[in-house]
A and B are shown apart, each in its own frame.
Chain A
Amino acid sequence: MLGKTAGGLFWMFRYLERSENAARLLEAGWRMALTRSDSADTEWESVLTTVGARTAYNRHYDNYDAANVINFLLRDKENPGSILSMLEQARNNARLVRTALSREVWESTNECWMTLKSDLARPVPDRDLAAVLSAVRYRTAVVRGSLHGTMLRNDIYDFSRIGTFLERADNTARILDVKYYILLPSAAALGSSLDNAQWETILRSVSAYRSYRWLYPGDINAKGISDFLILDQRMPRSLAFCMAKIASHLENLEQQYGVRHESHDLSDRMLLDRKRHSVDRIFDDGLHEFLVDRIKCTSRLAAQIETDFRFYG
């Protein structure tokens, strides 16, 4: 497989995952703004921070007005991180690697872009927002489903999945980090359950509101949520889950190619499990410090994979 193709697949799936995550964050933010107008501005600011778009946004606007934030993150062409720009990037990458994709994967990616391009051609009125955001999640899910159902389990699949899980790990770490102060035991919150709406937002941002309640019945607390999103192997957006997936796809590549690279060691060192890690330790050492380190390591791992598999000339 061409190095360029591996890179194209990796980025195609990173962009798809990132668009989906952005849609979820917008959805959670929108819900927050509807239910608690007093904290809406802070909420929008934290959404912008999570997707790394706050500085760019502040260059264009001097408030965190819902309509502006939504438009900026949804369809602003000037914003390379808007959902529309990212879906276009995903589709461009898909065109680049067209020969590596099954017809189903290509067509679902192309349709995803065509549908959203038309949905996002004009500013989205409030009443249509939910439908548009759900279209983003639905369309990206169809691409993922086609990948599962129609692609060979070879290096093409591995690079696609590595892109997905690197992006997802990065995203979950960012969501937690932006909200870590809410999770930290403060004088007021110590011993009491968290502010309802706040933890709901965190869980909704990773589509885990219901699953959390099933798995952690009763008390809802900071450690519970952190444990769920960092160490729970059952949760498909947890850091532990993502890292295990990345390691296993890298291992597949090691077997197919018969070569072990630096990225393999790096990824192994990043694995998370309850034998070696506990949420108590993480809290003792500092949740924020832990998350910042994870974000850094994830980006170092991505760069190492690019080098090891010759994505660029």
Chain B
Amino acid sequence: MTETRNRRAEGIQIFFDEMKDASGAPRDPYAQYNEWFSGEDPKILLKKSSEAEAFFRRIGITFNVYGASEADERLIPFDIVPRIISAREWRTLERGIEQRVRAINAFLHDIYHRQEIIKAGRLPKEIVANNAAFLPQMIGVSPPGGIYTHIIGVDLVRTGEDDFFVLEDNARTPSGVSYMLENRETMLQMFPELFTKLRVQPVSSYPQQLRKSLSNCAPPGMRNASPTVAVLTPGIHNSAYFEHAFLADEMGAELVEATDLSIVDGYVAMRTTQGYQTVDVLYRRVDDDYLDPLNFNPNSLLGVPGIFDVYRAGNITLANAPGTGIADDKALYSYMPDIVEFYTGEKAILKNVPTHRCSDPEALAYVLDHLKELVVKEVHGSGGYGMLVGPAASKKELSAFAKKLKARPGNYIAQPTLALSTVPIMTKKGLAPRHVDLRPFVLVSPNSIHVTAGGLTRVALKAGSLVVNSSQGGGTKDTWVLGD
């Protein structure tokens, strides 16, 4: 690979490619795929790419862009080259994720009860006390089954053969699982022959697992003989509405909006054609703030007045529990290795990205000096908004950001620019490497933690770009975890 050699000579960073090693030979997990690919006609593969787009449009797997004109529904681009992970690699990830998720639930219980971790001096008090994601209303509340985060998405990035890092945890309402499922469906339809050659672990049981997992967390005060599960959506204009409807449909649960729900005799009930029916478990895709205008944001029209009181009385399960945002807050992120160790008594299996907390004056000085090499994130931001990627920023952008940083240092954290691994995508000129991340999905119930073997691989479609968010020009790939 002359290009690689030239780059190395110029001192340009070399990225770990998951399909091919430095010599251009396929890595083990991709060996069979590579063999298949070299026998295919690129023209036909490109045609399949456009077929995939038509397929996604027809099933309506689109997302609405906030602020865009009415009925503007966009597709997240899908790339037909799968991201492949070996069974061995996956086992490590799985163990690491389970450990992290156990720690997060223990942390949430602790932080809303005795706050041992603060008493032990492992976490500064201010970081919780002054945090908007900490929900005082949850103090002393124990959710049914002791589970806070029924559904978690853990964002991982890779920089080398054995180097995986957790970029962030999504402990509120992680989205994207419908893409994991539909991407697989699409691949099965387009390349059935590949699935007979490679032993790809299935992901299709996720909705049933989700239903089972939610049912196992039904509240002790449940009235129905078997738990009634419903999905709460903000409505058809929400950007993730497709996913809400998809999951409800696949689980066989009702998809409700706040206007369908009322509090009847101390229980949450939905208005059906035959009167009110009690809901036992509500998988809510509405943020904490909007959940209950009586207990939280009084201006919310998306919420159910009084639902939090029913929750406190133990008569409904909310998944995820209110207040879980404190666990995935970026200000807390740098403490995660300590949190894992504190609650599990083990060293964290998955690494954290080294993080500078700009609230600390020394760290701030370092960050300002090295702004060009760092990625700076807003503590409460998401979706890739309000973020600075130092190496990609212009001088003007850097100095403007430095000003913001000095004005409110506590609002930011900074991390080294990670050399994210690449996986090729299909382009008109053939395969071309692009940076990726990975979001596996985890289901938590009192008796089990289930990590679906797969996940959502997001890919930056622009050459060289490190931002994989769909709102910023990212696409997705099917993620294959191979069997033994």
Task: State the A residues within 8 Å of B (CB).
Answer: 1-6, 88, 92, 95-96, 98-99, 103, 106-107, 110-111, 114, 155, 159, 253, 257, 259, 309-310, 313
Contact of A2 among B58, B60, B236, B273 (CB under 8 A): B273
Contact of B273 among A1, A88, A99, A107 (CB under 8 A): A1
Distance in Å from the Cβ of A2 to the closest Cβ of chain B?
Answer: 5
**CB of B259 within 8 A of chain A?**
yes
Complex alpha-carbon distance, A92 and B246, angstroms: 15
Contact of A4 among B241, B245, B249, B260 (CB under 8 A): B260
Query: Which interface residue of A4, A5, A253 has the most chain B CB atoms within 10 A?
Result: A4
Please name the residue on chain A nearest to B277 by beta carbon.
A2
Complex alpha-carbon distance, A114 and B274, angstroms: 35
Distance in Å from the Cβ of B116 to the closest Cβ of chain A?
Answer: 43
Which B residues lie within 8 Å of A111 (CB)? Answer: 58
Distance in Å from the Cβ of B211 to the closest Cβ of chain A?
Answer: 13
Task: State the B residues within 8 Å of A (CB).
Answer: 57-60, 71, 236, 241, 245-246, 248-249, 253-257, 259-260, 270-275
Distance in Å from the Cβ of B185 to the closest Cβ of chain A?
Answer: 11
Q: Is the CB of A310 within 8 A of B271?
A: yes
Q: Is the CB of B236 within 8 A of A103?
A: no
Q: Is the CB of A99 within 8 A of B249?
A: yes
Which A residues lie within 8 Å of B59 (CB)? Answer: 103, 106-107, 110
Q: Is the CB of B255 within 8 A of A107?
A: no
Q: Is the CB of A2 within 8 A of B256?
A: yes
Q: Is the CB of B273 within 8 A of A95?
A: no
Which B residues lie within 8 Å of A313 (CB)? Answer: 259-260, 271
Complex alpha-carbon distance, A98 and B255, angstroms: 9
Q: Is the CB of A98 within 8 A of B58?
A: no
Which B residues lie within 8 Å of A107 (CB)? Answer: 58-60
Q: Is the CB of B60 within 8 A of A106?
A: yes
Q: Is the CB of A110 within 8 A of B273?
A: no
Which B residues lie within 8 Å of A3 (CB)? Answer: 260, 271-273
Q: A99-B255, A107-B59, A110-B58 are known contacts. Are A2 and B245 too (CB-CB below 8 A)?
A: no
Q: A2-B273, A257-B274 are known contacts. Are A95 and B241 too (CB-CB below 8 A)?
A: yes
Please name the residue on chain B nearest to A107 by beta carbon.
B58
Q: A99-B245, A106-B60, A107-B58 are known contacts. Are A88 and B71 too (CB-CB below 8 A)?
A: yes
Distance in Å from the Cβ of B198 to the closest Cβ of chain A?
Answer: 27
Distance in Å from the Cβ of A3 to the closest Cβ of chain B?
Answer: 5
Complex alpha-carbon distance, A89 and B255, angstroms: 19
Complex alpha-carbon distance, A8 and B45, angstroms: 40
Contact of B270 among A2, A155, A159 (CB under 8 A): A2
Complex alpha-carbon distance, A92 and B73, angstroms: 13
7 smallest CB-CB distances across A and B, nearest first, come from: A98-B245, A99-B249, A309-B273, A3-B271, A99-B248, A99-B255, A6-B273
Please name the residue on chain A nearest to B254 by beta carbon.
A2
Q: Is the CB of B270 within 8 A of A98?
A: no
Q: Is the CB of A4 within 8 A of B271?
A: yes
10 example contacts (A-B, Cβ-Cβ < 8 A) are as follows A2-B260, A3-B272, A4-B256, A107-B58, A107-B60, A110-B60, A111-B58, A114-B58, A257-B273, A257-B274
Distance in Å from the Cβ of B284 to the closest Cβ of chain A?
Answer: 16
Please name the residue on chain B nearest to A3 by beta carbon.
B271
Q: Is the CB of A310 within 8 A of B60?
A: no
Distance in Å from the Cβ of B62 to the closest Cβ of chain A?
Answer: 10
Distance in Å from the Cβ of B264 to the closest Cβ of chain A?
Answer: 13
Distance in Å from the Cβ of A231 to the closest Cβ of chain B?
Answer: 32
Complex alpha-carbon distance, A155 and B57, angstroms: 29
Distance in Å from the Cβ of B231 to the closest Cβ of chain A?
Answer: 9
Q: Is the CB of B248 within 8 A of A1?
A: no
